[in-house]
Amino acid sequence: MTTTDTRTAAPEPVLADRAERPSLGRLWDTWGITAILLLLLALTPLVAPGFLQLENLQSVLRESAYLGIVAAGMTFAIAAGAFDLSVGGQLALVSVVTLLAYGAGGTPAAVGAAIATGLACGLVNAGLITKLRVPPFVATLGTLFVFRGVAYILTQDGPQTLPYDQIGSPFVKIGGLNVAGVPLPFVIMLVVYAAAWVLLRRTATGRRVLAYGSSPAAARFCGISAGRIQLFVFALVGLSVGIAALTYITRVWTADGSAQDGFELKVIAAVVLGGTSLKGGKATLIGTFSAVLLVSVLNDVLVGQGVPSAYQRIVLGCVLIVALTVDGLRTRFAVPGSLRRAVAGLAGRSTDPDSA
Amino acid sequence: MPAESPVLLHVDRLTVEFPGVRALDGVHFDVRAGEVHALVGENGAGKSTLLKVLGGLHRPAAGEIRLGERRYRPRRPADALHAGIAVIYQEFNLYPDLTVAENVFSGREPYHRLTRGIDYAELNRRTAQLFGTLGVHLDPARTVGSLTVSEQQLVEIAKALSVDGRIIVMDEPTAALSADEVTRLLDVVRRLRAEGRGVVYVSHRLDEVFAVADRVTVLRDGRHVHTGDLAETSQEDLVRLMVGRDVSAATRRTGAVRDDVVLDLDQVSAGRQLREVSLRVRAGEIVGIGGVAGAGQPELSQVVFGALGVDTGAMTLDGRTYRPSTPADAMAAGVGFLHEDRKSSGILPDLSVRDNLTVSVLHRVRAALTRLLSPAAQTAVFAEHRQRLAIRATGPGQLIGQLSGGNQQKVLFGRALAPGGRLLVLNEPTRGVDIGAKMEIHQLIDEVTAAGTAVLMISSDLPELLGVSDRVYVLAAGRIVGHLTGDDRTEENVIACATTGRRVFSEVAA
Amino acid sequence: MTGLLRRAPLALPLLGVAVALALTTDSFLTGGNLENVLVAAAIVAIPGLAMTLCLAMGEFDLSIGSTVSLAGVVCCSAIIDGVPAPLAMLLALAAGALVGLANGLVVTKLGVTPFIATLATLVIVRGLSLAYTDGHDQIVSSATLKYLVGGRPLGVPMPILLAVVAGALAWWTVNRTRFGRWVCAVGSHREAARVSGLPVDRIRIAVYVLVGMSGGLWGLLISSQLQKGNGQLGLGFELDAITVVVLGGTALLGGRASVLGTVLGAVLIETIRNGLNLLNTPPAYQRISVGLLLVTALALLALRRTPAPAPAVREVTA
């Protein structure tokens, strides 16, 4: 850049760089959910003494992997101001296709099929959204049913399962192996989060995703192509489902069109709970990561206490509403003067004490 | 005589607090029947806050408001309407999908007692009647989304009249209007005054204030600074009261226009908005584009920036064929762009000042080896721009949404310079910016042209258009109808070209 | 004809599908089959009409499928517990209204995005009906309940009668009443509605209650057909309800509503289902059809849309 300094002095003194201390609000945005997770971890052994046993901890981590990996992808979609409702259908379809491929070509075919099918699902969504200009939430609501439907078609003769005699194959070991005591699926999840963090914070593409999510109209005039961003985030969600399916299917061993009903809700709940705003432009992978573990630990405790799955659904739904309420309040508080109104609105009355 | 008319509205020691900020501090203000009272001040002076209190959107922490003799404490927008105060906010509050009449009488539609159905005949009749009193004709059954901005403004005014607003408050009503539309609006304001209503008129444009208002109140930093008759106040006084220091209105030019043509448009047409436009911008030159709103100005700027496709005609940049198909192409060629709508299409509100500056040149802040973004390189870009553009921010990580309008605009100006500064396309570079920042931005434009950058500047602010540009083209209905240089650059010529079909082309050596 | 096409562009594809089915199958054009199609269309049109208001308001209710299940469970288990059938049916409608009220309150008072809020209530309400039934069918045999689908007052099947009344009411509400125009006003520009003094929160809650009640009625109709209620009923029904509205041309982002379009959308979707049945398509394929239809309809709407209309709302910063 050519900088010709014709100005002899700035018209007014520029403020010195104040040491930038992140405000409490911004700290909470990133680390709040992690703090709650740590608190929960400290309290859980009091309620569920068996929680701290190694096998149980390993099981929680193994269980959290597929949710966590998809949530990492979804964080990008939500950061771009969109979300993908079809992840449940994608997971069912990818799992079924992966099992079919494993039957046909063994481990390499299964891994390849998982990644390729996940990406293909993501590209179908992206195509609908960018080429046919269907709003993302409705497009993915439609493809949720389409992907599940295709999975049903592929399993018309009954669910696809891994034969028990395959327990020694490398593919099946993805779900069962421990690396120095840490379950392999969780290791994969850690790697995915590290890569996702670099992608979001240290690459031009990640920055453009955030810029687009913050203001699509302004991003256009920064040379950012809306189509490319949407293509990228939906393909990324598909890819994350592909990776997640590898850890999922080698854990549950069976899949059909109804696999993981309601998965999209869990994923979106984890991302929002983590502190990524549904409005786009703001994202925290650390938050998502902690929220995934939080949901998994809660789940483990509920199952351990013998709570039926119907009630678990109710708890999950309520947790999501609370998380979204907090998200909404955070946004409202960010607008000056809205605090009192928001509180008044919640209390259902006026803040003006002597109002007629 | 306004001086003897009854006081309709009286604001006394009004204080409004937001978390950590005192937006209004003991402000007093009053409006009489049959007067236009202008409210002026820089951005952040507290005008909008005062309006929002009047409209029932904010509640004061202290002080009182009286309507005549009665105490007025609005708690929601409906309270303001019932009290006869109609606030026309800068962002219109209209339903694009509904008809003009449904908008005007929203919430107060006449309906049959028996069937509960809306009485559309009566609704449309009453609406037509209101427009009659305004002296304009607008079909009540038209959909508001199909109206022009100035027609929508009239719908807002009709809405204010429909609640029999004794006090009508207008926030920057002319910000998006063309010169002739402004004239029409001011006539309507005078008509409202003649009917004995009180009008509060908020504007950055002092020429309008002097043209229409009787009294003026100046706010600065949330405090009341001055109230007085406009007849006894000069424009210079007013500016000094607003800014709190002396300012010189003249724009100085330091650099000289060079010979090399940077941008050349030859018979460019695009869609229905732009027809056979030919123009040239030389290195170091500021070329202004004027005209009424909707004459094709944003389209022209977007064609040059690759955001809108060219149908026929040719463009060259530095003598080479130039056909950008996306803004990214344009930036790669060294073209920078400033959008006219800072809030919706300029800033990236959730991103920091630093990230807003670097977003269009991310390839330049990557580490050589890893291709990953380098925080140090980004912060260096921020530091350089902060110095050069005198951006007042607490640091690179501050969110751009927290800056004042003028400082946001300077950041966006920095972003526009980032592609290399061969050509700058500036849309309304100082719209909604206070006078201090306006002068700083004009100085910046002068600086970059002195360094050889070519500037294409679109402005609906006539003093700016004529004061800053070397040459002015006037657009009307997508065609160039005037080319003004030297002494031909007068407000009369621009208005005549833009609105009367007269064509003025100055003699220039090509 | 051209006027009808402009007001109801669905008439053409509907005619095409009908002609194709008449030519390829023997049984489509029989009186009994056509009545089946219309009854099925009527059943989905009723919630579709309420959903039309919701979309016109620029919002969604995804929880309606779970409301169907809850209403069925409430009605059937009440009858099993000895509650008179008409009262049990009222209880089911009230349960639906309650779900709607909960949605409305969460959306307005807690400020949660409708799309996600109702996704959460979808899971919660489904959990409630699963927990209440413990996963078992609640089988009933009630003539009163059966009358809701099987009755033929004046020789017209009851659902069709209900849908005609609901359609007329919906048309009147949307186009001629203050409430209907306010719903469109909120969908067109919510902030403007607030500043104009419209009771925005109450309007939104009312619409969610209406959708909840229509979901309750839907659940009653389904339970009436099956003579049972359980936690699995209504899975994925939200897609049907939204698809008929979108097919009918009601704008996704609010402001406008097409009642006639919704009714035609319901007829189209059920004609296609009927056709797939007559052509012996496996059920797995039928699951995809609605999803594909929704996506296709949206794509067509998007392609037909004129390029960016003039912005009606001026956005200038101070």
The tokens describing B437, both together, are 């920042």
CB A85 within 8 A of CB A264: yes
Helix (H, G, I), strand (E, B) or coil at B153: helix
How confident is the model over A132-158, as pLDDT tens digits? 878 888 889 889 989 998 999 999 888
Is a pLDDT exceeding 80 seen at residue A276?
Answer: yes
**Which residues partner with C316 through β-bridges?**
none
Q: How is C27-81 classified by DSSP, letter by letter?
A: STTSHHHHHHHHHHHHHHHHHHHHHHHHHHTT---TTHHHHHHHHHHHHHHHHHT
Kindly identify which residue of chain A lies nearest to residue C236, measuring between CA atoms. Answer: A145
pLDDT for A332 equals: 52
In the DSSP assignment, the letter for residue C134 is: T
Residues A324, C120: C-beta atoms closer than 8 Å:
yes
Residue C303 has pLDDT above 90, yes or no: no
Contact partners, residue B458, CB within 8 Å, separation at least 6: B288, B289, B297, B298, B300, B301, B340, B425, B426, B427, B428
The burial of A213, by beta-carbon neighbours within 10 Å (0-12 exposed, 13-18 middle, 19 or more buried), is given as buried
Would you state the pLDDT for residue C314?
A: 33
In chain A, domain spans: 52-335
Length reported for chain B = 510
CATH number at residue C124: 1.10.3470
Q: Can you read off the two tokens belonging to residue B257?
A: 């226009």
Partners of B476 in the beta sheet?
Answer: B479
Confidence of residue A213 (pLDDT cuts 50, 70, 90): very high
Among A266, A271, A320, the residue to mutate for chain C (most C Cβ within 10 A): A320
| Mean model confidence pLDDT for chain A | 82
Across the beta sheet with B198-202, the strand order is: B85-88, B167-171, B198-202, B35-40, B215-220, B223-229
Residue C96 has pLDDT above 90, yes or no: yes
Q: Which residue has the tokens 């709190």?
A: B244
The ipTM estimated for the assembled molecules is 0.83
Residue ranges of chain B whose pLDDT lies below 50: 1-2, 248-249, 509-510
Query: Which tokens sit at A106?
Result: 């063994």
C225 domain residue, yes or no? yes
Token digits for C191?
């902030």
Q: Which residues pair with B62 in a beta bridge?
A: B15
Per-residue pLDDT at C32 exceeds 80: yes
Joined together, the tokens standing for residue B133 give 């009193």
Q: What 3-state class would DSSP assign to C293?
A: helix
Q: Which residue of C has its CA nearest to A256?
A: C284
Higher pLDDT, C301 or B350: B350
pLDDT at C317 over 50: no
Confidence of residue C48 (pLDDT cuts 50, 70, 90): very high
CB B85 within 8 A of CB B166: yes
What pLDDT does residue C119 have? 87
Min distance C190 CA to chain B CA atoms (Å): 8
Determine the residue of chain B that is closest to A216 in CA distance.
B345
Residue C148's domain spans which residues? 27-299
Do residue A152 and residue C106 have CB atoms under 8 angstroms apart?
no
Q: What per-residue confidence (pLDDT) applies to C202? A: 96
Nearest CA in chain C to A263: C123
Q: Which fold has domain A52-335?
A: ABC transporter involved in vitamin B12 uptake, BtuC (1.10.3470)
Judging by DSSP bridges, how do beta strands B198-202 and B21-32 pair with one another? unpaired
Helices C114-133, A263-274: crossing angle, 10 deg rounding? 130
Q: Note whether C124 contacts A: Cβ–Cβ < 8 A.
A: yes
Angle at A198 between CA A140 and CA A17, to 5 degrees: 115
The helix (run of H) or strand (run of E) holding residue B386 is: helix B375-389
- Say what the pLDDT of residue B44 is: 65
> Residue C58: its chain B contacts at CB < 8 A?
none
Instruction: Show me where the domains of chain B are located.
Output: 2-243, 261-349+420-505
**At A119, is the pLDDT very low, low, confident or very high (cuts 50, 70, 90)?**
very high
> Which whole number is the average pLDDT over A234-262?
91
Which residues from A are below 8 Å from B440, CB to CB? 11
Chain A residue with minimum CA distance to B393 = A15
% of chain C beyond a pLDDT of 90: 59
Cβ pair C285:A328 closer than 8 A:
no
Is C186 part of any domain? Answer: yes
Per CB-CB distance under 8 Å, the chain A contacts of C298 are 132, 134-135, 138-139, 142
- Between CA B441 and CA A343 the distance in angstroms is 41
**Residues β-bridged to residue B473:** B289, B483
Give the residue carrying structure tokens 């199909």.
B146
Residue C161 belongs to some domain of the structure: yes
The pLDDT assigned to A156 comes to 85
Average pLDDT (C118-145) is 90
Half-sphere exposure of C98 (CA within 13 A, CB side): 10
Tokens of A333: 């508080």
Domain count for chain C: 1
| Residue C143 vs residue A304, higher pLDDT | C143
User: For B363-384, what is each residue's pLDDT tens digit?
Assistant: 889 988 888 999 999 999 999 9
List the end-to-end C-alpha distance of chain C, in Å, as a whole number: 50
How far apart, in Å, are the Cα atoms of A349 and each of A101, A114, A330, A341, C109? 61, 54, 20, 9, 12
| Torsional sign, CA C71, C74, C76, C82 | negative
Closest residue to A11, CB basis, from B327, B390, B417 = B390
- Give chains near B: 3+ CB pairs under 8 A: A, C
Interface probe for A, chosen from B246, B350, B355, B449 (most Cβ of A below 10 Å), is B350
Mean pLDDT of chain B: 87
**Within 10 Å of residue B128's Cβ, how many Cβ atoms?**
17
Show which subunits contact A, needing at least 3 CB pairs below 8 angstroms: B, C
Which two three-digit tokens encode residue A284? 């925290």
With a cut of 60, say whether residue C318 has pLDDT above it: no
Judged on CB neighbours under 10 Å (0-12, 13-18, 19+), C4 is exposed
Q: Do C178 and B111 touch (CB under 8 A)?
A: yes
C77 touches C133 (CB < 8 A): yes
Say whether pLDDT at A341 is over 80.
no
Q: Domain spanning B261-349+420-505: which CATH class is it, in words?
A: alpha beta
pLDDT tens digits along A58-97 = 999 998 999 999 999 999 999 999 989 999 999 999 999 9
Compute the nearest-CA separation of A286 from chain C (Å). Answer: 22
| C137-191 tens-digit pLDDT | 999 988 999 999 999 998 899 999 999 999 999 999 999 999 999 999 999 999 8
Residue type, A328: G
Q: DSSP letter for B91, please.
A: S
Q: How far is A181 from chain C (nearest CA, A)?
A: 35
pLDDT of residue A24: 63
Level-2 CATH architecture, domain B2-243: 3-Layer(aba) Sandwich (3.40)
Please report whether residue C243 resides in a domain.
yes
